[in-house]
Structure 1
């Protein structure tokens, strides 16, 4: 019987370092990532891009305190090879897809940079809070070498929270994918009545944590033999106290279904429903997230 510790994937683990006023999240994806990627059969550069985005979504989304909340990452441009990248996280479930120009991709370099894929694009990070019905969004340009660079800029610029993001993605010899990520942040001390971070000129406690975080290698993050607890210990074993938080399991989760789609179609007027139907009276809805087609009889549409 396989030892689960030798295949530590599809979960996120949170932790705090009280003396350093820091918090972190570490995640590793395996079968969940393969399931999402397999549905699309993307070429390697697009596959790698979506794997990075899904890992980011898992890292950031798993920090949501609202169990019903949703985190959405959207990267978009008007003049790049990639037209649109969307992925989201909700309650441990991940999904995502990419729209791209196959001809331009084939004509480009074998290993295109982020700029080659997007040109002058931007990254939007949207938080939807189910409990309060609030939504807030931050948008940053895709100026860095990776999506993680752009996401890190979002937290520093939009939320003024010192942040470190590191990712590691590997394709195993048998074709499987393993992706890992590390997310470190300085806690907003102002919430406890102290001076807020963005008005201070130095953060020695955070600098210490960030330096340690930078030592984490991409190969370690994507190594399924190393447990997430082991990685946290490697980084912070000399700290006085590191508190591990509850873990979150990860899975592929596309929320489309014939019943749900019928309810959505029911919001259209009957005449528009008939216009969408084919000669057999079927409305065929294509879900970009799971690459599936859902034929729904007009008679089954819920008005």
Structure 2
């Protein structure tokens, strides 16, 4: 059987249930991001989950050039910083962690084991209006998905179901997938919003269907994403599915931009940045590259 397309996201709505969702599957994009870092398996799984979550949330942006950024951070945890972002279908991310402390946790550490008492910040930057919205919640639950569910319920008052899974087979690369299902934020005409009610039959119905999704389905590269929607919700009177959004690895570091930024510093400060050979090395944490900028490349007047 030919593999289904990967590295894409699709959206769907269920009008009669006042619900909407996104499904994402990453393959080669994930391999490309991870190949730049040579992380140990627990950190690869963590970053893979973060990239799926970034794609799920970022692909909901309506404005072109808008950006979604996830940042998980702690002061005393094994993982100091986790960053993943999405812009125009491009994904990038990296992790800062203590390798010695990580080795003490074993092969399958918990989210609390990795972060301790950390927090998750989700930032939406709208390119057209220039508006920025950020929500911050504690890193609670067993996974990043659980923490994101808490974010939507607390910050957006939108009950959500988020499922993320990763699969890494030796010699076959990584696959990761995820699904986001939400009650429509505008609620229902003539009825109370869901967050002020203790029960809601329509949401409970789609929620019950969503939790039947097998994690192996999300990483089954022979199963198209639209077929997953069909399997879950084929008994509904209408399900609307969007065209796929392609996803790609996209680090936005640029040598000309870096040189322009360094050039704004006074000459004496640039000289202090340089090594003995007169070269300023600028690191990009996302792609693990060092950009060499020679001092004599700056024109002085």
TM-score, normalised relative to structure 1: 0.94
Q: Which runs of 5+ in 1 are unaligned?
A: none
Match of 2:122 among 114, 117, 125: 125
Separation in 1, partners of 2:124, 2:299:
29
Change (3 A) 1:285 1:191: farther
CA contact (8 A) 2:18 2:188 kept: no
Q: How many residues align?
A: 300
Moved over 6 A (4+): none
Give 1:289 deviation, angstroms: 0.2
Separation in 2, partners of 1:302, 1:189:
56
RMSD between aligned residues? 1.7
CA contact (8 A) 2:18 2:187 kept: no
Separation in 2, partners of 1:276, 1:136:
35
Separation in 1, partners of 2:299, 2:290:
19
Deviations along 1:159-204, one digit per CA (max 9) or x if unpaired, are 0001110012111342411111000011023586753332233221
Q: Which runs of 5+ in 2 are unaligned?
A: none
Question: Secondary structure at the residue paired with 2:244?
Answer: strand
Change (3 A) 1:301 1:161: farther
Deviations along 1:255-274, one digit per CA (max 9) or x if unpaired, are 00211211222332332122
CA contact (8 A) 1:265 1:301 kept: no
CA contact (8 A) 1:189 1:197 kept: no
In the alignment, which residue of structure 1 is the partner of 2:234?
237
Question: Secondary structure at the residue paired with 1:50?
Answer: helix
In the alignment, which residue of structure 2 is the partner of 1:202?
199
Change (3 A) 1:20 1:58: same
In the alignment, which residue of structure 2 is the partner of 1:21?
18
Separation in 2, partners of 1:88, 1:302:
35
Separation in 1, partners of 2:60, 2:188:
17
Match of 1:171 among 168, 171, 179: 168
Question: Secondary structure at the residue paired with 2:243?
Answer: strand
Deviations along 1:222-262, one digit per CA (max 9) or x if unpaired, are 11110001101000000000011132100000000211211
In the alignment, which residue of structure 1 is the partner of 2:254?
257
In the alignment, which residue of structure 2 is the partner of 1:63?
60
1:43-62 aligned at under 5 Å gives the runs 43-62=40-59
Change (3 A) 1:9 1:154: same
TM-score, normalised relative to structure 2: 0.95
CA contact (8 A) 1:266 1:302 kept: no
In the alignment, which residue of structure 1 is the partner of 2:210?
213
Change (3 A) 1:301 1:156: farther
1:270-281 aligned at under 5 Å gives the runs 270-281=267-278
Separation in 1, partners of 2:203, 2:298:
55
Match of 2:223 among 223, 226, 240: 226
Change (3 A) 1:273 1:162: same
1:98-117 aligned at under 5 Å gives the runs 98-117=95-114
Separation in 2, partners of 1:167, 1:149:
10
Question: Secondary structure at the residue paired with 1:158?
Answer: helix
Give 1:300 deviation, angstroms: 3.6
Question: Secondary structure at the residue paired with 1:271?
Answer: helix
Separation in 2, partners of 1:245, 1:160:
25
